[in-house]
């Protein structure tokens, strides 16, 4: 067995994919699948703000793809929203301030609907949480998991659309998040009675360090694939 570290990439089936939006842009991405089994669910990841360095390879999303197909039998889809560049390549278009990115999310959901990989969970990080909140409430998803939600572009008027949606809404909030700390998050998300806020002691907005990574991935798995919780630290 080996200890799982920040650079560990566990076995999975990797597939380079392209998504086509309804306004005729091609977005680049990757789908990671369990090697031997059909996935029990799929995580559709939405990356942090591209104008501040966010992309599909942002570390928590990359580590989810590197670990969770093997450890939790989950599929993980990552993609660059319009105009975003990562080591994987560049998606067509230009940054849309979280507005035209609605079409990017819809293209990813259409792709997953065609593949029939199981229940879809949105996993947004920072800017990605804004897309999940604003555009996920009426989609064919099991729920949304929000990492470090700033609630900047997403307003209370967006949150209330989740009331009675039968879609789970969970915010995972670092103790030292400079954009939205746990106490404020509890107040903001209280407009959705069904929403859950999980505070993570000692963590910051960017989830730096292996301890923070393990905490986030464990919280995701506890929600989506509870039978695989807690995740092992060796493989």
Say if 234 falls within a structural domain: no
The pLDDT value recorded for residue 123 is 99
Say if 7 falls within a structural domain: no
Q: What's the average pLDDT block by block, 10 residues per block, for the chain (235 residues)?
A: 95 98 98 97 98 98 98 98 96 98 98 97 98 98 98 98 98 98 98 98 97 98 98 97
User: Is residue 16 classed exposed, middle or buried when 0-12, 13-18 and 19+ CB atoms within 10 A define those classes?
Assistant: exposed
CA dist 201 and 160 (Å) reads 27
Say if 191 falls within a structural domain: yes
CATH number of the domain that 178 lies in? 3.40.50.1820
Say if 4 falls within a structural domain: no
Whole-prediction pTM: 0.98
Task: Decide: 31 and 76 in contact? Cβ < 8 Å.
Answer: yes
Say if 184 falls within a structural domain: yes
Which contacts of 86-89 are long-range, i.e. CB under 8 A and separated by 24 or more positions?
86/55, 86/56, 86/57, 87/57, 88/16, 88/28, 88/29, 88/30, 88/56, 88/57, 89/28
């Amino acid at each position: 067995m080996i200890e799982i570290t920040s650079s560990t990439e566990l076995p999975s089936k990797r597939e380079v994919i392209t998504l086509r939006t309804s306004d005729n842009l091609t977005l680049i991405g990757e789908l990671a699948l369990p090697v031997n089994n059909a996935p029990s669910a799929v995580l559709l990841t939405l990356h942090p703000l591209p104008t501040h360095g966010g992309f599909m390879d942002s570390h928590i999303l990359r580590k989810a793809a590197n670990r969770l197909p093997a450890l939790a039998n989950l599929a993980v889809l990552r993609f660059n929203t319009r105009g975003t560049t990562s080591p994987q390549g560049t998606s067509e278009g230009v940054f849309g301030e979280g507005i035209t990115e609605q079409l990017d999310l819809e293209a990813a959901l259409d792709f997953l609907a065609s593949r029939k990989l199981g229940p879809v969970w949105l996993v947004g990080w920072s800017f990605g949480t804004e897309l999940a909140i604003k555009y996920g409430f009426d989609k064919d998803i099991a729920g949304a998991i929000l990492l470090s939600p700033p609630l900047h572009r997403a307003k209370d008027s967006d949150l209330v659309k989740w009331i009675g949606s039968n879609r789970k809404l969970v915010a995972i909030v670092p103790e030292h998040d400079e954009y939205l700390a746990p106490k404020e998050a509890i107040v903001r998300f209280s407009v959705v009675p069904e929403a859950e806020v999980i505070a993570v002691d000692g963590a910051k907005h960017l989830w730096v360090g292996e301890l923070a990574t393990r905490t986030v991935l464990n919280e995701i798995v506890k929600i989506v694939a509870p039978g695989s919780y807690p995740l092992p630290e060796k493989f």
